[in-house]
C-alpha cells in the first residue's frame, strides 16, 4: 500500500477552501458538526462551532500509516478541555422533534452547562421554562452524542489495494492518570477524577491537586494503589457482610430445630457454672479458646446467654416452648480484581416461641439481633453491620424418618462505614451511615435412617436472600467524599448433602457425636455495578461488583450430651465454609437446653 500520509499531504494544495486558516489542512479535517448547539442541531448554520469558531481535532503524521491528534482547535477547548469526551461526559441537551419522524435528527435548541440551561445564543433559560417545554412530548432531554462522536469527515487518497479494502483503526490515548489504571474499577475512578479538566462541569479545582498527587507517585503500582484508595473499593462487602450476618441468624433457627428432633435442642447457648462431667467441662474450655475478645456487651451475651439456672430453652406448657440462642463467627472476605477484602467477626442472639400444633409439627416465630464487624484490607477502613430479624417457621419430623423445616424472615440492617484515604500527601477519612432491608426464605428437607445406634440420612436446602441497601453520601473527606446509589444483592443457593450422629452412653448421660456436609450451588452470579460519584462535581461513574463463587462446601462437626435424668442437653458445634473463592467462615457454638 502506498504511503497514505505522504499522498494526502502532497495534495494539500488541491483541497478546496485551503486558505491557510487553522483547521483547513487535510490532516486537520476532523470537525465537530457545523451548527452544533445551534438552531437546527448539527445541520443548523447558527450556534456554537460555526464559522469562525468551527472546532475539531489537530492531526500530525507519525510514520507512514498513522495520524495522531495533539489537541483541539476552535472554540471547543474553552468549554470541554483538550480531549475528546466520552459519552458519559457530554452535557445534556434539550431537543425538539419538529416532524415526529424518528429517522430525522431532532433540533438541539438548548444545552445544560454547570446546572444552568442556555439557548443557542448563550442566553439563560430558566428551569421553569424548560419544564413548560417538556410538557410538550415533542421536546426531550438527552445527551448531546455528537460531542462524543469521532466525526470522521476528512478524505483519503487511497493507493492501489489488491483486496479493495482498507481499515481505519482508532487507538485512544488517555490522560496519564487514566493510563495508569490497571483494572476496570481503577479506570473508572481515574476517568472521574480526570473529568475535573472539563471546564463546563465546573468541578472543584482541588481535584487537579489530587490528580497531580497521584501522577507524582514514582511507580505505576503506587499510582494504582492510590486509585484503589481514592474511591470505595469494597462496596461488594455491603452485600457479603449483610448476608453472612442474616444467614447466621437463619441457620441458628434451623440448627435449633434439627437438634430438637434428635434429642439435642441445639439452642446455641454458652453455659457457665454447672455440675457436669469432665466431657462437658472440656467442651466449655474448647469454646473459650476461640472466643473473640470484645468490649461489646451484646457479643458477650451471645457467648454467655445460658448463665441462668434453667438454661436456654424452657418448655412453658405441654405444647409451647421458648428458646434463646447465641452464636459467634469469624472469617475473611477475599479481595477480587475490582474489590478489596476484609477480616470480620460476627455474633447473633436469637429468641423465640413455638407451639406444637399437631404431633411432630411445630409453628413458631423468632426475633434475632446480630452484628458483623469488618476490617477492610490494606487498612482502608471499617464496615460494621447490625441486623434485627424477625422469622416465622414451621417444622415437621422426628429423629428417624422424613423431616422438613420452612422459614420466612425479614431483616432491618444498619451500616456504619469509615473509609480511610491515604496516598502521597493525602490523608482523609470519609464517614457514612445507611440502612438496608432483606427478605429471607428457606426450605429444608431430609430423611434419617437408623442403622443400629447410628442415625444418618440425606438432606437438601433451598435458600433465597434478597438484600437492598439504601444509597448514601459520605462526609469528612472533602472532594474525595462520595455519593453511592442504592445497591441490590441476591443469593439463591441449593444445599445437597447429609448428616450422621451416634449416641454413646457415659456415666452421667449420653454423648452424641455428629457431623454434616453439604455441597452448595449458588445460582445468582452476583456481578453488578453501582452508580457512584465524588461530591465535588466530577462526572458520575460506576463501581463494578465482581461475580461470586458458584460452588463451595458447608460442613461441621459437633458433640452433644444428654445429662442423666436432669432433662439437660449440652452441645459443642463447629460449622464452616470451605473451598469458597469469596470468603471463609468459621463458627463455634456451645448450646444448652433444659426442659421442665
Predicted pLDDT at 182: 96
Q: What is the C-alpha end-to-end distance of the chain, expressed in Å? A: 96
pLDDT band at 99 (very low <50, low <70, confident <90, very high): confident
Mean pLDDT calculated for residue range 227-233: 96
pLDDT at position 313 is 53
- 370 neighbors 346 (Cβ within 8 angstroms): yes
pLDDT given for residue 504 in this prediction: 84
Q: Is the pLDDT of residue 535 over 60?
A: yes
CA distance 547 to 16: 56
Q: pTM of the full predicted structure? A: 0.82
Q: Comparing 82 with 231, which gets the higher pLDDT? A: 231
pLDDT (average), residues 164-184: 84
Predicted pLDDT of residue 6 = 56
Are the C-beta atoms of residues 407 and 376 closer than 8 Å to each other? no
Domain ranges of the chain: 176-229, 236-594
**pLDDT on residue 75:** 78
* 211 vs 582, higher pLDDT: 211
Mean pLDDT calculated for residue range 384-406: 96
Whole-Å CA distances, 7 to 10, 62, 415:
5, 14, 64
Q: How far is CA 373 from the centre of its chain?
A: 17
Q: Could you give the percent of the chain with pLDDT greater than 90?
A: 52
Q: What is the Cβ-side half-sphere exposure of residue 307, based on CA atoms within 13 angstroms?
A: 6
CA distance 131 to 126: 9
What gap in Å lies between CA 348 and CA 339, rounded to an integer? 27
What pLDDT sits at residue 589? 78
> With left for phi above 0 and alpha for psi between -120 and 50, is residue 166 left, alpha or beta?
beta
In this prediction, residue 284 carries a pLDDT of 38
Mean pLDDT of 531-543: 95
Confidence of residue 102 (pLDDT cuts 50, 70, 90): confident
pLDDT at 317 over 80: no
Q: pLDDT per residue over 86-95, tens digit each?
A: 888 999 999 9
Residue 76's pLDDT is what?
84
Cα atoms in the Cβ-side hemisphere of radius 13 Å centred on 122: 4
Say which CATH class 236-594 falls into: mainly beta
Average pLDDT over residues 358-382: 95
Q: How confident is the model over 482-486, as a mean pLDDT?
A: 98
294, exposed or middle or buried, with CB in 10 Å at 0-12, 13-18, 19+?
middle
| Range in 87-96, 161-170, 442-451 with the lowest mean pLDDT | 161-170
- Per-residue pLDDT of 267-312, as tens digits, reads 333 333 333 344 434 443 433 333 334 456 555 545 544 343 333 5
Q: 204 is written with which cell numbers?
A: 472543584
CA distance 103 to 319: 74
Q: Are 356 and 308 in contact (CB under 8 A)?
A: no
Average pLDDT, the chain: 82
Around Cβ 39, how many Cβ atoms within 10 Å?
A: 17
pLDDT digits (tens, 9 = 90+) for 396-437: 999 899 999 999 999 999 999 999 999 999 999 999 999 999
Amino acid at each position: 500500500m502506498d504511503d497514505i500520509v505522504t499522498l494526502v499531504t502532497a495534495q494539500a494544495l488541491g483541497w478546496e477552501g485551503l486558505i491557510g486558516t487553522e483547521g483547513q489542512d487535510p490532516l486537520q479535517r476532523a470537525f465537530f458538526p457545523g451548527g452544533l448547539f445551534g438552531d437546527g442541531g448539527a445541520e443548523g448554520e447558527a450556534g456554537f462551532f460555526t464559522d469562525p469558531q468551527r472546532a475539531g481535532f489537530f492531526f500530525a503524521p507519525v510514520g507512514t500509516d498513522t495520524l495522531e491528534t495533539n489537541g483541539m482547535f476552535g472554540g471547543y477547548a474553552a468549554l470541554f478541555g483538550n480531549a475528546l469526551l466520552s459519552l458519559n461526559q457530554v452535557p445534556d441537551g434539550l431537543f425538539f422533534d419538529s416532524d415526529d419522524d424518528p429517522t430525522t435528527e431532532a433540533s438541539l435548541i438548548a444545552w445544560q452547562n454547570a446546572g444552568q440551561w442556555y439557548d443557542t445564543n448563550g442566553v439563560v433559560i430558566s428551569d421553569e421554562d424548560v419544564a413548560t417545554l417538556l410538557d410538550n412530548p415533542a421536546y426531550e432531554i438527552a445527551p448531546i452524542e455528537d460531542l462524543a462522536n469521532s466525526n470522521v469527515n476528512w478524505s483519503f487518497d487511497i493507493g492501489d489495494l489488491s483486496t479493495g479494502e482498507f481499515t481505519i483503526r482508532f487507538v485512544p490515548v488517555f490522560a496519564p492518570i487514566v493510563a495508569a489504571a490497571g483494572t476496570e474499577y481503577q479506570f473508572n475512578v481515574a476517568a472521574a477524577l480526570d473529568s475535573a479538566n472539563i471546564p463546563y462541569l465546573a468541578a472543584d479545582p482541588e481535584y487537579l491537586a489530587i490528580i497531580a498527587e497521584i501522577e507524582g507517585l514514582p511507580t505505576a503500582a503506587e499510582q494504582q494503589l492510590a486509585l484503589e484508595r481514592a474511591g470505595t473499593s469494597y462496596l461488594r462487602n455491603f452485600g457479603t457482610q449483610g448476608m453472612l450476618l442474616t444467614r447466621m441468624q437463619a441457620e441458628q433457627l434451623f440448627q435449633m430445630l434439627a437438634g430438637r428432633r434428635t434429642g439435642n435442642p441445639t439452642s446455641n447457648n454458652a453455659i457457665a457454672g454447672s455440675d457436669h462431667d469432665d466431657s462437658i467441662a472440656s467442651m466449655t474450655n474448647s469454646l473459650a479458646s476461640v472466643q473473640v475478645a470484645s468490649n461489646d456487651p451484646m457479643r458477650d451475651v451471645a457467648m454467655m446467654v445460658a448463665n441462668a439456672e434453667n438454661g436456654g430453652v424452657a418448655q412453658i406448657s405441654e405444647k409451647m416452648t421458648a428458646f434463646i440462642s447465641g452464636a459467634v463467627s469469624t472469617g475473611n472476605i477475599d479481595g477480587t480484581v475490582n474489590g478489596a477484602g476484609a477480616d470480620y467477626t460476627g455474633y447473633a442472639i436469637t429468641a423465640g416461641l413455638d407451639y406444637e400444633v399437631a404431633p411432630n409439627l411445630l409453628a413458631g416465630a423468632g426475633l434475632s439481633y446480630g452484628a458483623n464487624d469488618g476490617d477492610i484490607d490494606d487498612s482502608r477502613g471499617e464496615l460494621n453491620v447490625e441486623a434485627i430479624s424477625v422469622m416465622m417457621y414451621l417444622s415437621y419430623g422426628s429423629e428417624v424418618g422424613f423431616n422438613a423445616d420452612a422459614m420466612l424472615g425479614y431483616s432491618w440492617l444498619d451500616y456504619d462505614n469509615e473509609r480511610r484515604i491515604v496516598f502521597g500527601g493525602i490523608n482523609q477519612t470519609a464517614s457514612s451511615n445507611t440502612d438496608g432491608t432483606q427478605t429471607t426464605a428457606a426450605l429444608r428437607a431430609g430423611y434419617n435412617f437408623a442403622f443400629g445406634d447410628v442415625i444418618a440420612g440425606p438432606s437438601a436446602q433451598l435458600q433465597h436472600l434478597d438484600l437492598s441497601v439504601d444509597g448514601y453520601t459520605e462526609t469528612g473527606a472533602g472532594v474525595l467524599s462520595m455519593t453511592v446509589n442504592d445497591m441490590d444483592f441476591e443469593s439463591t443457593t441449593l444445599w445437597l448433602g447429609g448428616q450422621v450422629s451416634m449416641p454413646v452412653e457415659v456415666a452421667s448421660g449420653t454423648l452424641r457425636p455428629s457431623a454434616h456436609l453439604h455441597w452448595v450451588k449458588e445460582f445468582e452470579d452476583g456481578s453488578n455495578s453501582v452508580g457512584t460519584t465524588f461530591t465535588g462535581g466530577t462526572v458520575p461513574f460506576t463501581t463494578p461488583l465482581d461475580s461470586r463463587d458458584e460452588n463451595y462446601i458447608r460442613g461441621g462437626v459437633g458433640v452433644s450430651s444428654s445429662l442423666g435424668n436432669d432433662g439437660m442437653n449440652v452441645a459443642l458445634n463447629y460449622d464452616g465454609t470451605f473451598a469458597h473463592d469469596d470468603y471463609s467462615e468459621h463458627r463455634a457454638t456451645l448450646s444448652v437446653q433444659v426442659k421442665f
